[in-house]
Amino acid sequence: MSSLQHFGWFLSRGFGPHGWGHPYYEWNYPWHSPKLYQQSVRDLEQAGFDLVIIEDALSLGNADTLDLRIRSAYGGPKHDPLLLAPYLFAATEHIGIAPTVNPLAYSPYQAARQFATLQHLSDYRFGINVVTDVGSSRHFGVEPLAHDQAYDRAEEWLTAVRRLWHSWGPDALIADPATARFADGSKLDAFEHRGEHYRFDGPLNALPFPELGAEQLSGDPVVVSPGGSGRGLNFAGEQSEVQLALASLDVETIRAYRAKVLEAARAHGRSASDIVILFVFKPVIVSSEEEAQRLVDASAHPDDAALLQIAAGQSSDLETDLTALDLDRPVDPSIFGDHVSRGTIKGLLGRYDDFADATLRQLLTPKARLGRISDRAGYVGTAEEVADFIQELGDEADNDGFIFSGDLHPVTIHRMLDEVVPILRRRGILRTEFGDGGLRGNLRDF
């Protein structure tokens, strides 16, 4: 029998037009009303998933590329996932919900207050996915910071938010009708924060969170982080209880990634059991090995329509329109403005060193290519093969678990999970019941 692993779902499109671009859009769920998401998270809870993380971007990005961002709904619209969270809590009992939050958009006081409220309302099932993107700074009247400075700001923000959550001392709350005394103001921490990025005063006017259960787990909302740079992994080691890891899924890479995060955790006086590292996983589950092979074979020769679809996705990430370019000529690198992420440009180049070395078709073709999970060459496979892969990475790489990634839509959830859930349960890899410790409890149940 293998060990239990943790599973979550990354709602990779954010709170946006779910299903757009796919036939299942015509199931006619209005994407801006809560029922679609409520139905989906109920199914994920039924499947034994610990949490849902909701992607977000604060704006439509660069003013010159608005059409590019919205014409296929790749970059927007996006409604605020924080405000979706209460509807998801109302529909479920155990699963945690962690919307994406960017410190540039919330003062620590506002953040601490809203998150405390959601933590109380959800019975300890709230988390925040803390991101450091600076592309939307101008909408908030703040200067864009450099990569590492944005992490510095996030650290100052989280430390300040936590101090506010703890600004009611352990015996500040009395709530004793006999003495008609609700609380003791002398036990509150009226601190003054004067930091590099924020200046404000405490204490918070929201109630603190009592510790949970015999283990006295902290009642604070759970912090999730996704950054994969050295700075990002150090941030995770110091601050996070869940790291959303994007990496190639093989034993060696997972071991190396885990080692870096756990080393950072230890350097900050934490232990391996304080953080759960979940790798992003997007399998293509098919009904037979023959079907898997058919898909893989076809993907080696993508037609122009398939390449254009990939170009549209890349164009949104690159804030540069690739769809209007000739597929059979090299890309002129001067089309990428200074604002475009160098990492994303490198991602487009793939194994090529220079744009002169390849046509756009040659750059895009490898991005269409699928591989069999049974050969460890990609992620197409039957449910049994996907379960074998999950089991292998748990057994051989000590993997904590996975974040499935996709739309939060009943069709995508059932397509990915219907067959895999029972197999994982039979093998003892996926939980069959929840404890009652909220999101942190889910992460510490095993």
Ligand X SMILES: Cc1cc2nc3c(=O)[nH]c(=O)nc-3n(C[C@H](O)[C@H](O)[C@H](O)COP(=O)(O)O)c2cc1C
Minimum separation from the CB atom of position 326 to ligand X (A)? 32
Nearest to 53 by CA among 219, 209, 220, 223: 223
**Number of residues engaging ligand X in binding (CB under 6 A):** 17
Per-residue binding letters, 342-381, with ligand X (x by CB under 6 A):
----------------------------------------
Exposed (0-12), middle (13-18) or buried (19+): which is 143, by Cβ within 10 Å? exposed
Per-residue binding letters, 173-212, with ligand X (x by CB under 6 A):
----------------------------------------
- Count, in order, helices (H) and strands (E) of the chain: 15, 14
Cβ neighbours of residue 285 closer than 8 Å, sequence gap 6 or more: 381, 382, 383, 386, 415, 416, 419, 420
Identify which range of 70-78, 204-212, 226-234, 366-374 contacts ligand X by CB under 6 A.
226-234
Helices marked H in 240-334: 251-267, 289-299, 304-318
83 to each of 31, 115, 123, how far by Cα in Å? 14, 11, 17
Please tell me whether residue 55 binds ligand X under the rule CB under 6 A. yes
244: tokens are 């959303």
- Whose Cβ is closer to ligand X: residue 146's or residue 180's? 146
Nearest to 32 by CA among 66, 83, 70, 71: 83
Please tell me whether residue 57 binds ligand X under the rule CB under 6 A. yes
Three-state DSSP state, 199: strand
Minimum separation from the CB atom of position 61 to ligand X (A)? 11
Q: Which of 43, 45, 56, 220 binds ligand X (CB under 6 A)?
A: 56
Element spanning 441, H or E = helix 438-444
- Whose Cβ is closer to ligand X: residue 236's or residue 322's? 236
Identify which range of 126-134, 137-145, 298-306, 432-440 contacts ligand X by CB under 6 A.
126-134
- Whose Cβ is closer to ligand X: residue 193's or residue 231's? 231
Q: How far apart are CA 50 and CA 106, in angstroms?
A: 26
Please tell me whether residue 110 binds ligand X under the rule CB under 6 A. no
Minimum separation from the CB atom of position 394 to ligand X (A)? 20
Identify which range of 28-36, 189-197, 225-233, 262-270 contacts ligand X by CB under 6 A.
225-233
223 to each of 101, 126, 259, how far by Cα in Å? 10, 9, 20
In sequence order, the β-bridge partners of residue 51 are 8, 96
Contact between 383 and 420 under an 8 Å Cβ cutoff? The reply is yes
Cβ neighbours of residue 245 closer than 8 Å, sequence gap 6 or more: 226, 228, 257, 261, 277, 278, 279, 280
Minimum separation from the CB atom of position 142 to ligand X (A)? 15
Please tell me whether residue 144 binds ligand X under the rule CB under 6 A. no
Q: Which of 231, 361, 367, 427 binds ligand X (CB under 6 A)?
A: 231
Please tell me whether residue 228 binds ligand X under the rule CB under 6 A. yes
Please tell me whether residue 280 binds ligand X under the rule CB under 6 A. yes
Q: How far apart are CA 204 and CA 199, in angstroms?
A: 14
Please tell me whether residue 244 binds ligand X under the rule CB under 6 A. yes
Q: Which of 100, 234, 320, 412 binds ligand X (CB under 6 A)?
A: 100
- Whose Cβ is closer to ligand X: residue 147's or residue 193's? 147
Q: Which of 38, 122, 132, 239 binds ligand X (CB under 6 A)?
A: 132
Contact between 97 and 127 under an 8 Å Cβ cutoff? The reply is yes
Identify which range of 220-228, 263-271, 366-374, 386-394 contacts ligand X by CB under 6 A.
220-228
Please tell me whether residue 139 binds ligand X under the rule CB under 6 A. no
Applying CB under 6 A, the residues found at the interface with ligand X are 55-57, 100, 102, 131-133, 226-229, 231-232, 244, 246, 280
